Amino acid sequence: MSSYPSGEGGSQLPPTPTLSNPPTNGKSSQPKGGLVPTNNVTTKEGMTVRTRIEPSLAVEDVIRQLCISLKLKDPPAVYALRDENDELVTSDNLRKKIKGKVNLKLVNAPAIEAAEIVEKLSARDAKLGLALTALRKLIREEQFANEFLQRDGLHELIDVINTSHGNILAYALTAMQNLMELDYGWATLDNSFILKVVQILSSEQSPINVCRPATAILKKLVEADPSSAQGVHAPSSSRGPPSPPSGSVYRYGFDVVFEQMRKERRLLETVVSRLGSADTTMALYSMMLINSLLAHASDPRWDEFIADLERLNVRKAVIRLMSSHTIEDLTSCILDFQANMVRVTFRKKTTLVEPDFEPLHSSALQFIWEKSKLQEEREDAVTLIKWRKLGFDTEDIGHEFREVGVLGLDCLKYFVEKDPDYWAKVVQEQLSRPEERRCPIAKASNEVTDLLSEHWAIYAPGYSTSTTFQPFFLNFYKVHSLALQFFLRMWNESGSSTGDFPRLVALTRSQVKVALKRENIRPWHEVEQEFLECEYRAVRDRQMQELEMEDDIMSKIPIRNLRAKLYKESFEFVRQQRVHCLLEGAWFMNGIPLATTVPRDTLKRPTRPWRFLRLVSTMIFPMFRHIHDQLSVLLQDAGLKYLHYVDSAVKFPVRKGLEDLPERIEIAMISEVATGTCAPFPHIRGDQTDVPLGSSSPLLASSLSFSLLSTSGGSLADQIAPDQARWADWTDGLNMLRRDGGHVASQETELFVQALTEIGLKIKLLDLSGEKVEIPSGLVAGPPPTNSDFFFSDLAYDPPA
């Protein structure tokens, strides 16, 4: 059937053309069972024609046949097809557009659009703002980006950034941010450009719409280090970082960015101050940049960077965010920050105190000594009495801090800085007592540090299962100070002597558990009351009740070390299980995003209710005997690059492979897995879904929802899981795949790790108790060998099945 629609001015168009493959053997190519779908196609002149397009055609053939049917004079190469939302039609999505009867537009090809925009960037005339507005959107398209880069558009865009301000600068930076979502094309950005972005961020006069994309650009540069390059691996014999391929954008990283940051000392201060911005998105971007810097900080600059953050009191700024009204949008980033601070705390705890080699360690110890207002004494002609006056067992200060490292030194320094007069008074008061009645203050400080590390599971870098806010953990030094004062007070009130030290440690451990419970909702003043105002008798009675309920063996150091080892193994096991769920795939409901941090122009309401998601590995590997081995290789490999998916009106059996999953999301694009962000898909019959829809309040966020956010803040996917278990599997699994680490989002994962740890610990203890092995309270290393005339025996080890 033909029709004669009118264009502008009522002009007649040709009859409805049918665009199809040429018939073979005299047979029609029209599909069986009905007519080819009909789509409206609008020309650049505004005329519309109804066209039947064969879905199997390539988009180039469709354009060529349209040019012939419409008798257009220009060659087909200068045209392209876009849908009514201006999305470029390609051979990959053409079938979907045709079957959906989407209205199409015949427009300029990406090559023509790129040439026009580059020309306008170079002219810098009144049309520059319009050109940048178009560029921000078009640069996301690979076809346009390739044409833009071939015409030296990147150079023109950088020139605009270097010479502009206000809205023009904001548009140009946003275009650069969107270009950097590609993993190619911006490898020529040099130090002068990075410094320019740093200077823009450092200025307090820079408006919010300029700071947002500038922050995202800097974050992207930090994450573009050689170790993040897909498919790049360092040789097994090399200890250095891997080398990126020639022309790769993965040539920047923390060191390159931090070198330019050092030239603008106000940068970190300004970024931290913006955590308190009234603009939620600005606070979010600043939080994400800080997290990226923490996750990618390199060894040579680590101490300097962490010291800068501590000086700026970034912990306090994040604690304020925890009670802010914008918290719904920042939850994921705050949990990321907590996980990063666990890594920082663990690294400090395992860094040896070496005053002979580290000036910072030496100056901290000197400060502690000077504030004690004591004088060194000689025990004999060779031995000095100095550190033993403060409560250490020996004069070997490195040995004294071996269990708590720099973390213990920092805690003791903070305690002294908080009230130097109190410190001097306490030290001198203890020295005035008989030796057996003196409280070893410095030794007690280290024990409290160790207790708090145990309480917050500071077992290993990258292993953090907290799913709630931990403001007290971020106040680690303050809590240490309170707990140490509690220890000293209990020592005095109980009239303790040297032999009672382990008993006081156990008493403090009990109080730490009570004072720090319900951390995410408990006010700080209650913590202070628990440590500063409780009575010795009440604490002792409660501890005795606790001891009746649990074996004292659990508090011994070897058992605590065993628990830490099993905790790491349990975490890794759960991590592999979560990723295995992603590899299997699952059905989700498409959600309607509600997050305020997502730009309005990126919000898309789903057209189909169901989506099947599956993580797909691009590597080919041999079969392994155990799934554990296979997943370990996958987790370490860059092959887990894409989430493939399909949207559908109904659920159907999805085959293995990619044939049923035409669409995909790049894992590297996911900067945050936000939870509780979208409402259920409307108008679905209850018998078609096991998701609680909340039909009476369709715009309320589902507790089973999550969104995959990109660095630009746009949403890559908005899903609602069918149940709590699948929500936990996918939110935590996706977090564990993120390039910048991530955090555990569900209590299911947290409790799973803890349960596996406790079960493993009980099994190990059954082995020991069955053999009636006596577990010591501590292990003392023997003296070192007197010479090098020894060797280590090769012991055969048969790992458990």
pLDDT value at residue 483: 95
pLDDT classification of 673: cutoffs 50, 70, 90: confident
pLDDT of residue 538: 86
| Residue 623 shares a structural domain with residue 729 | yes
Mean pLDDT of 379-405: 87
Average pLDDT score over the chain: 80
Confidence check: pLDDT of 798 > 60: no
Phi-psi group of 101: left, alpha or beta (phi > 0 → left; psi -120 to 50 → alpha; rest → beta): left
Residues 696 and 648 in one domain: yes
Q: Choose between 702 and 195: higher pLDDT.
A: 195
Positive or negative: CA dihedral 409, 410, 413, 419:
negative
Alpha helices by DSSP H, 70-190: 94-99, 110-123, 128-138, 142-150, 153-163, 166-179
In a domain, 681, yes or no: yes
User: Strands 104-108 and 79-83, how do they pair?
Assistant: antiparallel
**Whether 511 and 610 share a structural domain:** no
Give the pLDDT score at 148. 94
* DSSP code at position 12: B
* pLDDT score at 777: 53
pLDDT of residue 330: 81
Domain housing 264:
189-228+250-312
Domain shared by 543 and 624, yes or no: no
Residue 520 sits in the same domain as residue 373 = yes
What phi and psi values does residue 561 have, to the nearest 5 degrees?
-65, -40
114's tokens: 């790129």
pLDDT band at 625 (very low <50, low <70, confident <90, very high): very low
Report residue 462's pLDDT band, with 50, 70 and 90 as the boundaries. Answer: low
| Phi–psi pair at 297, nearest 5 degrees | -55, 130
pLDDT at 494: 87
- Write down the pLDDT at residue 486: 94
743 and 650 within one domain = yes
Q: Dihedrals φ, ψ of 785, to 5°?
A: -60, 145
Coil, helix or strand at residue 214: helix
- Residue-wise pLDDT for 163-187, tens only, equals 988 899 999 999 999 999 888 899 9
Which CATH number goes with the domain that contains 674?
Answer: 2.30.29.30
Q: How far apart are CA 286 and CA 240, in angstroms?
A: 30
| CA atoms of 108 and 106, how far apart (whole Å) | 7
At residue 658, what is the residue type?
L
CB 151 within 8 A of CB 108: no
pLDDT at 368: 95
Residue 231 DSSP code: T
User: Pseudo-torsion of CA 533, 537, 541, 544, nearest 10°?
Assistant: 100
Structurally, the chain folds into a number of domains equal to 4
pLDDT above 70 covers a percentage of the chain that reads: 79
The answer, yes or no, to whether residue 381 has pLDDT greater than 70, is no
Q: How confident is the model at residue 37 (pLDDT cuts 50, 70, 90)?
A: low
To the nearest 10°, report the CA torsion of 320, 321, 322, 327.
150
- Domain assignment present for residue 781? The answer is no
Final residue in a domain of this structure, among 729, 750, 771: 750
Q: Is the pLDDT of residue 141 over 70?
A: yes
**Per-residue pLDDT reduced to its tens digit, 424-457:** 999 999 999 998 899 999 999 999 999 999 899 8
Identify the CATH number of the domain in which residue 87 sits: 3.10.20.90
Is the domain of 619 the same as that of 658? yes
Domain co-membership, 672 together with 572: yes
Query: What is the pLDDT, as a whole number, of residue 639?
Result: 60
pLDDT for residue 466: 74
Is residue 653 in some structural domain?
yes
Q: Per the domain annotation, does 756 fall within a domain?
A: no
Is 541 contained in some domain? Answer: yes
- Return the higher-pLDDT residue of 150 and 57: 150
Model pLDDT, residue 668: 76
% pLDDT > 90, the chain: 34
Instruction: Note the pTM of the prediction, 2 decimals.
Output: 0.74
Same domain, residue pair 535 and 570: no
Tell which of 64, 93, 108 closes a domain.
108
675 belongs to a structural domain: yes
Residue in 170, 180, 198, 178 with CA at minimum distance from that of residue 256: 198
Mean pLDDT value of segment 55-84 = 84
State the average pLDDT over residues 74-96: 84
Do both 544 and 569 map to the same domain? Answer: no
Average pLDDT over residues 21-48: 60
Most confident stretch, 126-140, 327-341, 656-670, 778-792: 126-140
Q: Assess whether pLDDT exceeds 50 at residue 27.
A: no
Task: Give 209-219 pLDDT, tens digit per residue.
Answer: 999 999 999 99
- Ranked by mean pLDDT, which of 414-418, 505-509, 688-692 comes out on top? 414-418
The pLDDT score that the predictor gives to residue 692 is 44
The pLDDT tens digits for 534-590 are: 888 888 888 777 665 555 566 666 777 787 788 888 888 888 888 888 888 999 988
Is 166 part of any domain? no
Least confident of 232-241, 648-657, 701-710: 232-241
pLDDT, residue 739, reads 61
Q: Tell me: do 541 and 571 sit in the same domain.
A: no
Query: Does one domain contain both 587 and 477?
Result: no
The predicted-structure confidence for 227-263, as pLDDT tens digits, reads as follows 776 544 333 334 455 566 677 888 999 999 999 999 9
> Is there a domain that residue 687 lies in?
yes
